[in-house]
Structure 1
């Protein structure tokens, strides 16, 4: 796998324009789509949490016209950028909604799939636990919660670049840092979710598919 560059971590790193662009999102969207083609349902609503700039939401809505795509974020700058990317986009790309995954009160009551891209390592662990809680509330049995990002795994040697990335994240905020797949799986199991599949991705990232158990 290629060594990853260290991308910006927050919306503030991406300038001040309403419609912001993250180089990492431009690079990885095609790779993510190939896995989503296997993992997403044939129809229904996909809730994307921590949608960031909105680039992914726009691309995914265009690629999956049979799905309603619900972007969300808790950052006002991100919500503005998502709205800007939505302009002129497909009808199945819904207006962004504000969701703090660490809180229990979400404006979405159910979803056929959920997606989280590059959130777990740039948020307190409680935000990921809240996302698992939300998936347990919103998803029907068998429906997926999908993660993409840099994760640590006990059976995979951590790339030096990821170790450096982890150190840089923790230097920026002590609540940030790369998480272990095994820790996520244990927390998910306590909430009725099961880690069903892990796919290695370019730049030492993983995609993880969790499913809601019956």
Structure 2
């Protein structure tokens, strides 16, 4: 099993956001897709705390898929499905066989920072097809706003990411808002989190 210290630090705050935005639907069973599940720590914790959601974890690397499977086996959680290989930059028809309007929620934690713009576009075009009407797309990370990155620690993070891969870096909230709008999705809320991180809550329009 892989272990991410950051995931151990931030899962509770993220879980509180999920509980808050999903509370009104707690009377029914929801299906949530996590894009870029990484180690699997988040999805396991979410499943343990939010029993009315069935989780579909996904990732692009075999190492992460193996780690997620190991966490599922070790914790015996019943509401986490076996992970699937999913490349968010691919057309939605290739999203591991997920059907049109099948998901209530899509979650992407620290995915857009470590992705190309093609992947960001894929997330929104895919979400537009996979989400049910009024479904939620929730992204978490550090962002630029109107082309500006503040404070200096976030500028440093952006520079580090671009050194690792020139296509990576802090996505701009306004660009994401436009991408969403072009796919029939509206940015509904921005929730301030720890250390300049934010949760963006997008809703698929009818």
Name the TM-score, length of structure 2 as normaliser: 0.92
- Aligned pairs for 1:1-214 within 5 A: 19-40=1-22, 41-42=25-26, 43-87=29-73, 88-104=75-91, 105-107=94-96, 108-109=98-99, 110-154=102-146, 158-214=150-206
CA distance in 2, matches of 1:162, 1:57: 26
SS at match of 1:169: helix
List alignment gaps of at least 5 residues for structure 2: none
List structure 1 runs of 4+ shifted beyond 2 angstroms: 40-43, 154-157
CA distance in 2, matches of 1:79, 1:157: 33
CA distance in 2, matches of 1:128, 1:144: 16
CA contact (8 A) 1:58 1:89 kept: no
String of CA shifts for 1:19-68, please: whole Å, max 9, x gaps.
00011100000111111111124231000010000000100011111110
Counting matched residue pairs gives 196
CA distance in 2, matches of 1:115, 1:86: 18
Larger RCO: 1 or 2 (CA < 8 Å, sep 6+): 1
Superposition deviation, residue 154 in structure 1: 3.4
CA distance in 2, matches of 1:187, 1:193: 8
Superposition deviation, residue 190 in structure 1: 0.5
SS at match of 1:151: coil
CA distance in 2, matches of 1:168, 1:98: 27
List alignment gaps of at least 5 residues for structure 1: 1-18
CA contact (8 A) 2:147 2:172 kept: no
Superposition deviation, residue 205 in structure 1: 0.5
CA distance in 2, matches of 1:80, 1:151: 30
String of CA shifts for 1:127-176, please: whole Å, max 9, x gaps.
11101111100112211000011111239861111000000110111000
Partner of 1:4: none
**Structure with a larger share of its residues in helix:** 2
Residues 29 and 168 of structure 1, relative CA distance in 2, 3 Å threshold = same
Name the TM-score, length of structure 1 as normaliser: 0.88
